[in-house]
């Protein structure tokens, strides 16, 4: 089974035997990997009932819910890790979600597509149109990404929220790249945070 | 498999203590089983039935001759697969299909009638636990229930947490709302207003409050459906006539349908059982039993939970299931929840629904 690169980076850094909440867990690929490979107690939240059904059918504990509102129902520090992969940019208020992640989880993993990648910049600069790229494949009018964010924006948000960036991984074309000029070079990024 | 047979009867030898403080002496539980019990007794699935359900979950009903009420879900190769699970379904106490209820004989040889003690959902589960003790099943692989069956599954999980590994609750609630109680009261008053009810003492008379019970069923049946479902099924169509009769016959198809449902129901159900079981449901409030906080009911549970609701169910709407999910989250329990889309309201859990099948199969296997 091959995980999406951001999920693989997260999976590689979740300590075995811990409790994890995967918010926007999709079909449960990361949860299944964590449960089978590292004996993690994984719980999920997913908005799409068809995906929840697939998760339940594979034996995962997933609740149909909306990250914008339903995280409030989890107690403080109920999890060792709260994971938000490729969902931050779809949130009504990404800043409030980040607060909630660091409330329910001791640590948080956040992955998102970087709007400042050079392809996106070039598309906007030379095309003058909202970019449709490999990392952002959907037109502006039907994308669920309502809060586009760059790596530098996210670093700034983390700082403003008093969150410590413990680690970060950057990816271009499925491959991990170095941190140098990541805001130009990375198509997406994964951050590990704590507070 | 499809042949109706007299149910197995389990005699509860000890007195059954009840929430009211009374005890039920010499109670019997009628039950059906399907599929083989594994040598290590680890594959038992208890299915809890709804208000007017019975133990014939996957075999023909002995009175109506109709197929079991969840035959599409339970059987060889079905989502609850009797090729690998030992399925147990028992008639709850207070009911009328072989388990002790108001129509049963009391120690003086006459029917209990209204001398039957008022029971609760937890009392029903006490009866089921006594049955499991008798069957020497310490831990269920899964307890499953829809509607009132879901209340029993929740009560079992809360009060006997070590006895089920998995808890599947479909279209149910942790407490009866004012609206739920109100509809039940309409049904009870319809029965009690029938002169044949005779303060519940009708068993020896040969008459029974069928008219009242039919009205109770008609009112309740509306709550099991959705407006969308009724409109699609009947609309304003007339029943076997070209124009309105300007009278009070069943002009509309929906009237005819409800009358049919009402009178059919009286053939198989006891009016006093209807009073007692609706009362038990109205008294159900799992949080109240646990210091007013639902999360307390599930504190320290190691069971896995799965809750399912239907978007058109206005009897036990999705919010009720979410309320339970939030309590389970707060208690740190393993829980899954999904709201499924279905046109037929509360009854959807009994009807064809592929997504429900996949969820049940995935959770139970």
What pLDDT was estimated at residue B2? 33
| Domains of chain A: total | 1
pLDDT averaged over every residue in chain B:
96
> In the predicted model, is pLDDT for residue B4 greater than 80?
no
B217 is in an annotated binding site: yes
ipTM: 0.88
Q: Are residues B88 and B169 in the same domain?
A: yes
Inter-chain Cβ pairs, chain A and chain B, closer than 8 A: 60
Q: Are residues B139 and B167 in the same domain?
A: yes
Q: What six digits make up the tokens of A146? A: 């309502």
- Length in residues, chain A: 195
**Which chain A residue has its CA at the smallest distance from B318's CA?**
A64
- Which residue range is the domain that position B346 belongs to? 8-176+286-364
Chain B touched by A60 (CB under 8 Å): yes
Q: Is residue A130 part of a domain?
A: no
Q: Which of B54, B309, B313, B348 is catalytic?
A: B313
- Active-site residue, B123 included: no
| Domains of chain B: total | 2
Average confidence (pLDDT) over A139-143? 93
Average confidence (pLDDT) over B177-195? 98
- The nearest CA of chain A is from the CA of B84 a distance in Å of 17
Closest by Cβ to B306, choosing from A41, A56, A74: A56
Return the half-sphere exposure (C-beta side, CA atoms, 13 A cut-off) of residue B135: 34
What pLDDT was estimated at residue A35? 95
Looking at residue B191, which CATH number applies to its domain?
Answer: 1.10.1740.110
- The nearest CA of chain A is from the CA of B120 a distance in Å of 30
Closest by Cβ to B304, choosing from A50, A61, A75: A61
Q: Which run of H or of E encompasses B334?
A: strand B334-340
Q: Is residue B3 part of a domain?
A: no
Distance between CA atoms of residues B79 and B352, nearest Å: 12
**pLDDT category of residue A1 using cuts at 50, 70 and 90:** low
**pTM listed for this prediction:** 0.93
Q: Are residues B83 and B118 in the same domain?
A: yes
pLDDT in tens, B81-108: 999 999 999 999 999 999 999 999 999 9
> In the predicted model, is pLDDT for residue B235 greater than 90?
yes
Looking at residue A79, which CATH number applies to its domain?
Answer: 3.40.50.150
Q: Are residues B208 and B229 in the same domain?
A: yes
Average confidence (pLDDT) over B32-39? 98
Interface contact A52-B336, CB threshold 8 A: yes
Distance between CA atoms of residues B29 and B45, nearest Å: 17
What pLDDT was estimated at residue A2? 82
pLDDT in tens, B109-146: 999 999 999 999 999 999 999 999 999 999 999 999 99
Interface contact A53-B338, CB threshold 8 A: yes
% pLDDT > 70, chain B = 99
Chain A touched by B299 (CB under 8 Å): no
Task: Examine the fold and report which residue of B278, B302, B322 is the final residue of a domain before the chain moves on.
Answer: B278
Q: Is residue A126 part of a domain?
A: no
Cα–Cα nearest to B168, from B11, B45, B282: B45
Which residues numbered 1-20 in A keep a CB inside 8 Å of some CB on B? none
Looking at residue B108, which CATH number applies to its domain?
Answer: 3.40.50.1820
What pLDDT was estimated at residue B330? 92
What is the 3 state secondary structure string of chain A? CCCCHHHHHHHHHCCCCCEEEEECCCCCHHHHHHHHHHCCEEEEEECCHHHHHHHHHCCCEEEECCHHHHHHHCCCCCEEEEEEECCHHHCCCHHHHHHHHHHHEEEEEEEEECCCCHHHHHHHHHHCCCCCCCCCCCCCCCCCCCCCCCHHHHHHHHHHCCCEEEEEEEEECCEEECCCCHHHHCCEEEEEEEC
% pLDDT > 90, chain A = 90
pLDDT in tens, B264-316: 999 999 999 999 999 999 999 999 999 999 999 999 999 999 999 999 999 99
DSSP class of residue B347?
G
pLDDT in tens, A10-52: 999 999 999 999 999 999 999 999 999 889 999 999 999 999 9
Cα–Cα nearest to B147, from B274, B268, B52, B78: B52
- Active-site residue, B147 included: yes
Q: What are phi and psi of B144, to 5 degrees?
A: -125, 140
Cα–Cα nearest to B167, from B325, B339, B293: B325
- The nearest CA of chain B is from the CA of A68 a distance in Å of 15
What pLDDT was estimated at residue B3? 35
Interface contact B340-A61, CB threshold 8 A: no
> How many CB atoms lie under 10 A from the CB of residue B53?
24
- Which residue range is the domain that position A61 belongs to? 5-114+145-194
B72 is in an annotated binding site: no
Cα–Cα nearest to B330, from B299, B288, B306, B290: B299
What pLDDT was estimated at residue A22? 97
């Amino acid at each position: 089974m091959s995980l999406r690169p951001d999920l693989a980076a997260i999976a590689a850094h979740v300590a075995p035997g811990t409790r994890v909440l995967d918010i926007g867990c999709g079909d449960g690929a990361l949860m299944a990997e964590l449960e089978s490979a590292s004996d993690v107690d994984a719980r999920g939240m997913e908005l799409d009932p068809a995906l929840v059904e697939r998760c339940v059918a594979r034996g995962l504990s997933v609740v149909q819910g909306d990250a914008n509102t339903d995280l409030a129902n989890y107690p403080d520090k109920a999890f060792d890790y709260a994971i938000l992969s490729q969902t931050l940019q779809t949130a009504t208020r990404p800043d409030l979600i980040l607060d909630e992640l660091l409330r329910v989880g001791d640590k948080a993993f956040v992955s998102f597509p970087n709007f400042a990648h050079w392809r996106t910049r070039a598309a906007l600069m030379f095309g003058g149109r909202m970019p449709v790229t490999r990392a952002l494949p959907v037109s502006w009018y039907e994308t669920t990404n309502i809060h586009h964010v760059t790596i530098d924006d996210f670093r700034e948000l983390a700082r403003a929220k008093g969150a410590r960036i413990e680690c970060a991984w950057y990816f271009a074309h499925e491959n991990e790249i170095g941190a140098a000029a990541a805001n130009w070079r990375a198509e997406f990024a994964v951050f590990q945070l704590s507070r | 498999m499809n042949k109706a047979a007299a149910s197995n009867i389990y005699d509860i030898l000890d007195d059954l203590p009840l929430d009211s403080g009374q005890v039920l002496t010499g109670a019997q539980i009628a039950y059906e089983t399907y599929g083989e019990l594994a040598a290590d007794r680890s594959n038992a699935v208890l299915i809890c039935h709804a208000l007017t359900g019975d133990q014939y979950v996957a075999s023909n009903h002995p009175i109506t001759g109709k197929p079991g009420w969840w035959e599409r879900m339970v059987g060889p190769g079905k989502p609850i697969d009797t090729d690998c699970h030992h399925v147990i379904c028992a008639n709850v106490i207070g009911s009328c299909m072989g388990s002790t209820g108001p129509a049963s004989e009391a120690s003086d040889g006459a029917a209990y009638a209204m001398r039957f003690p008022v029971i609760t959902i937890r009392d029903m589960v006490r009866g089921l636990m006594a049955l499991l003790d008798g069957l020497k099943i310490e831990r269920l692989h899964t307890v499953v229930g829809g509607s009132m069956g879901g209340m029993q599954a929740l009560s079992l999980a809360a009060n006997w947490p070590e006895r089920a590994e998995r808890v599947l609750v479909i279209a149910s609630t942790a407490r009866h709302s004012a609206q739920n109680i109100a509809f039940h009261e309409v049904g009870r008053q319809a029965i009690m207003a029938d002169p044949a009810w005779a303060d519940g003492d009708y068993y020896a008379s040969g008459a029974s409050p069928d008219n009242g019970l039919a009205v109770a069923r008609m009112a309740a049946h509306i709550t099991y459906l959705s407006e969308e479902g009724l409109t699609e099924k009947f609309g304003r169509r007339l029943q076997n006539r070209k124009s309105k009769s300007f009278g009070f016959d069943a002009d509309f198809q929906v009237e005819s349908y409800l009358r049919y449902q009402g009178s059919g129901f009286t053939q198989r159900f006891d009016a006093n059982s209807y009073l007692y079981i609706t009362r038990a449901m109205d008294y159900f409030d799992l949080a109240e039993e646990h210091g007013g906080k639902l999360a307390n009911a599930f504190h320290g549970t190691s069971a896995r939970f799965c809750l399912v609701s239907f978007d058109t169910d206005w009897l036990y709407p999705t919010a009720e299931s979410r309320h339970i999910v939030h309590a389970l989250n707060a208690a740190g329990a393993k829980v899954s929840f999904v709201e499924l889309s279905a046109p037929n309201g509360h009854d959807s859990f009994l009807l064809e629904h592929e997504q429900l099948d996949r969820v049940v199969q995935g959770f139970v296997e």
